[in-house]
Structure 1
Amino acid sequence: MCKDAGLDGKRLAEACGWHPAKVSRISSAKTSPSAEDIRAWCRACGAEDQTEDLIASLRAVEGMWVEWRRMERAGLRQAQEARLPLYERTRWFRCYSPGLVPGLIQTYGYTEDVLRAVQRRRVEVDDVADAVSARMERQRVLFEGQRRFAFLIEESVLRNALGEPDTQVEQLEHLLTVSALPNVSLGVVRTKIGRARMPVEGFWIFDTAQVNVELVSGYLTITQPREVATYADTFAALADVAVYGAKAHALIRAAVASLG
């Protein structure tokens, strides 16, 4: 934009009424511009027709990453409820989980163990009971409307529990029940030598519009079509090496048997 306007950093700073260092910091992405900074920059370059698009892009980027401490500062219930509109408008869900059973197919007891562990680790407010109820309420999308669900879990998830053996047995038996639903596909990615693809971070794909990734420090939202497509390709590759139906059920029942 600056080159098109015939401006270097110094002249742009003068036109905007800034110190030249500010132009340098924004250009090198060391400082994120405000909406007013974008307006001033576009005005100086004679590109005011681009202002609103650039501001919209800025806001999209700002919303991509949310730290857990910000999302959960008022407790876990609010974070659970905030996702409900996304689930209600989605018709095709794809989820890959390398560590835990996905939330939509968790039992009450399993969810309670998971959210209690989260609360102890990083949240001062103890509203776990309300957060569990909110997640259980969200599970109604499994049975409403014309929705499709494809879940992929690593085999280790079947033997990875935070709570008591009875809770894990209940959860595993629930997987058998849920996988029988006509709109649900449940695949188990076997743990074995020579796998074509190693595990990646867990993620959810909502239709073809959005991907969400839960990382150690925060919650990532991806909406750029090319990046969404990359996650879709990764999901497809993992789905190709997963087992389903009777083979998946055999793995689940073996995990139940191992718990006595």
Structure 2
Amino acid sequence: MGSERQERMKALGVRLRGLRTEAGLTGAVLAHRAGVGQPTVSKVENGRMVPSADVLDRLARALDLDESTRQEVRDLLVAVETASDAVEAPEPQASVVGALDEAVRSARLVRSFGCVVLPAMLQSAEYARHVFGSAPDATPEAVGRAVAARVERQSLLYEPGRESAFVLTEAVLRTWPGSPALMLAQLDRLLAVESLSTVRLGVLPWRRAVPVMPRHGFTLCDRAAVVVETFRNERASDDSAEVVAYEETFRQFEAAAVYGSEVRELLLRVMADFRDLDSSATR
């Protein structure tokens, strides 16, 4: 069971989806008419995102709602904004997977920056298990489902017509959960992913100064939305000014990173360090 706020978000989403269906519109058509990203329509209708008053008004105009129905959906939004956010034992995938999942699935260009934790699309199953297992009130069953969903989504890396770009700090490669053996397997996966024609992987070596202080990780989905990592969850936004700001930040990190053979050499050096740690642990 979710919080009062989550339940009211779902109610708002169900009502908007019903109005869209009555108007005979697809989510894509509604998004185009309203001037918002398609992931926004999907997340709002599924109760995973609270629209701003401006976005709600755009959707209402695109649906050609009469004034009484517009007021009804405005009241539903007010109800969401004033509801309690207390949550009863959230499952990890509700807080960590949900915000990113649909945005990534619908995007043809995904750009992720990581400063401590690996981006979701690069995580091995065991690494992801530690990520989800660290969530408050995590249960083995919920963690298992979250890991399965994350691994399934990673098949998008191999789809023709999609492009993925990742920039990591060297700190990401050296911040390790579990054991050195886990990280050896994770780094081996990064070597395999780096070789894909659909993927561009860059690393900011510790020997280079960063162009911007990396405060948190984030993922850009096309040029329509950004998902920002916080301590407890992930926050999705399609605010155009915010997306542009994160695009510029990503470009700065991207320009400072190393690629290709330099990344492979760096990964191999880090793997050698983890092998030394692994050997020390087994003596």
TM-score by length of 1: 0.69
Structure 2, unpaired ranges of 5+: 1-52, 58-65, 276-283
Counterpart in 2 of 1:148? 163
Alpha-carbon deviations, 1:41-93, whole Å to 9, x = none? xxxxxxx97x949x67x959x79xxx7x74x8441244566343322211100
The counterpart of 2:187, out of the listed 158, 172, 180, is: 172
Name the CA shift for 1:193/1:204 in 2 (closer, same or farther; >3 Å): closer
Name the CA shift for 1:194/1:101 in 2 (closer, same or farther; >3 Å): closer
Root-mean-square deviation over aligned CA pairs: 3.2
Alpha-carbon deviations, 1:112-166, whole Å to 9, x = none? 1222222xxx125442112111111111111224110000111111111011111
Output the amino acid matched with 1:108.
Answer: A
Alpha-carbon deviations, 1:13-43, whole Å to 9, x = none? xxxxxxxxxxxxxxxxxxxxxx9xxx9xxxx
Output the amino acid matched with 1:113.
Answer: H
Tell me how far apart the structure 2 counterparts of residues 178 and 194 of structure 1 sit (CA, whole Å). Answer: 26
Counterpart in 2 of 1:115? 132
- Whether the 8 Å CA contact 1:80–1:134 is kept in 2: the answer is no
Structure 1 position 219, deviation (Å) = 2.7
Counterpart in 2 of 1:75? 91
Output the amino acid matched with 1:76.
Answer: P
Tell me how far apart the structure 2 counterparts of residues 59 and 232 of structure 1 sit (CA, whole Å). Answer: 29
- Whether the 8 Å CA contact 1:110–1:171 is kept in 2: the answer is yes
Q: Secondary structure at the match of 2:111?
A: strand
Name the CA shift for 1:179/1:193 in 2 (closer, same or farther; >3 Å): closer
- Whether the 8 Å CA contact 1:95–1:152 is kept in 2: the answer is yes
Name the CA shift for 1:197/1:77 in 2 (closer, same or farther; >3 Å): closer
Alpha-carbon deviations, 1:152-210, whole Å to 9, x = none? 11111111101111110010011010011001000001223643322231101000111
Output the amino acid matched with 2:130.
Answer: D
- Whether the 8 Å CA contact 1:204–1:212 is kept in 2: the answer is yes
Output the amino acid matched with 1:190.
Answer: P
Counterpart in 2 of 1:100? 117
Number of aligned pairs?
206
Moved over 6 A (4+): none
Structure 1, unpaired ranges of 5+: 1-34, 40-47
Counterpart in 1 of 2:268? 253
- Whether the 8 Å CA contact 2:203–2:259 is kept in 1: the answer is yes
Tell me how far apart the structure 1 counterparts of residues 179 and 254 of structure 2 sit (CA, whole Å). Answer: 30
| Structure 1 position 184 matched with structure 2 position 192 | no
Structure 1 position 102, deviation (Å) = 1.2
Which is further off, 141-150 or 238-247? 141-150
Counterpart in 2 of 1:26? none
